Structure 1
Amino acid sequence: MKVATKAYGIIEVDERQKITFPAGLFGFEGIRDYILLDAERQPFYWLQALEVEELAFILINPFLFRPDYEVEVDDGEFREIGLSDPKMALTFSIVTIPPEGPMTANLQGPLIINRESRLGKQAILTDTRWKTKHDIMEELASVKGTDAAKKAPC
């Protein structure tokens, strides 16, 4: 199918890239259908609204820079999108890139997507460790520093 996108103009996409958020996303409840696209720069993705060309979100896998990240939600939230096994979920965080200041990720409101049904939902986590603005580069550097420390010879 052909889709008008914010990042790439009109492109051809596979129907399997379509993700439906039955309740929409917070602040965009009326827009339910999106496509998931690889961004030109990894490790990012685009979540492009099908109905509104100008509406697209940059996403990142939060486990890349926060290996300790935990998505603790009620089992009912997984069932809402047909997930019986949380391991079948894709988890993304919405990225904000301001004109000035650090690039941040929202770890408090992750997007959870059922790989099989391609249904998704945005959860709200109550764990106080997870905020709406985590500095991606700072936390990525921290993780790399930890890995380097573990591999350093004694």
Structure 2
Amino acid sequence: MKVETYLYGAVEVDPEKVITFPNGLVGFEQSKRFMLVHDEGNAQPNSYTLQSLDDSALALLIVDPAALGFTYELELNDVEMALLQSPAADEVTVMQVLFKKEEGGKAAIMPSLRAPLVINTKARVGLQKIMETVSQNILLSNLASTV
């Protein structure tokens, strides 16, 4: 299928590669279908563009938390496991949405620590795990880089 995107123009999307977020993402609940875009020269990229197929203007930069120096130990409840189609541990990846934060006249790119994306890579279905607090099981290091 052909999709018009804000960043990449018209692109051909293999329906087998669409990732569905049945509940959408925080602030973008109407966008449920996404594709991943990354630099073709990198076989194992750390960051991707998560491009909405429902809203051509919506594209989010996501990154592997390990590339930023931290890891998650997440516990999914029964509803979340059902939404993800009960994946095996090796079928799940966790990604972090990045956003721009301006403070005191300076801009920084920050990860959204309390709302990681959890994706079943086999079934190509995901959710955004909203956490009340950040647990001590998240190991943190250099989290902000100046723009």
When normalised by structure 2's length, the TM-score is: 0.77
Q: Does 1:35 align with 2:28?
A: no
Maintained 8 Å contact 1:102/1:135: no
Q: Which residue of 2 aligns with 1:135?
A: 143
| Dislocated runs of 4+, deviation >6 Å | none
Q: How many residues align?
A: 135
Q: Which shows bigger deviation, 3-12 or 48-57? A: 3-12
Structure 1: 5+ residue stretches without partners: 139-154
Identify the structure with bigger relative contact order (alpha carbons < 8 Å, sequence gap 6+): 2
Question: What's the CA shift string for 1:74-109, capped at 9, x where partnerless?
Answer: 243122210332321121110113574221111210
Partner of 1:50: 53
**Alignment partner, residue 141 of structure 1:** none
RMSD of aligned residue pairs (Cα, Å): 2.5
- Whose strand fraction is larger, Structure 1's or Structure 2's? 2
Q: Could you tell me which of 81, 85, 88 is aligned with 1:85?
A: 88
Which residue of structure 2 aligns with residue 149 of structure 1?
Answer: none
Q: TM-score, normalised by structure 1?
A: 0.74
Confirm or deny that 1:116 pairs with 2:122. yes
1:18 aligns with 2:24: no
Which protein has the bigger helix share?
Answer: 1
Distance in 2, Cα, partners of 1:137 & 1:31: 28
Bigger radius of gyration? 1
Amino acid at match of 2:34: Y
Q: 1:44 to 1:136 in 2, by over 3 A?
A: farther
Structure 2: runs of 5+ lacking an equivalent: none
Compared CA separation, residues 5 and 47, structure 1 to 2 (3 A): same
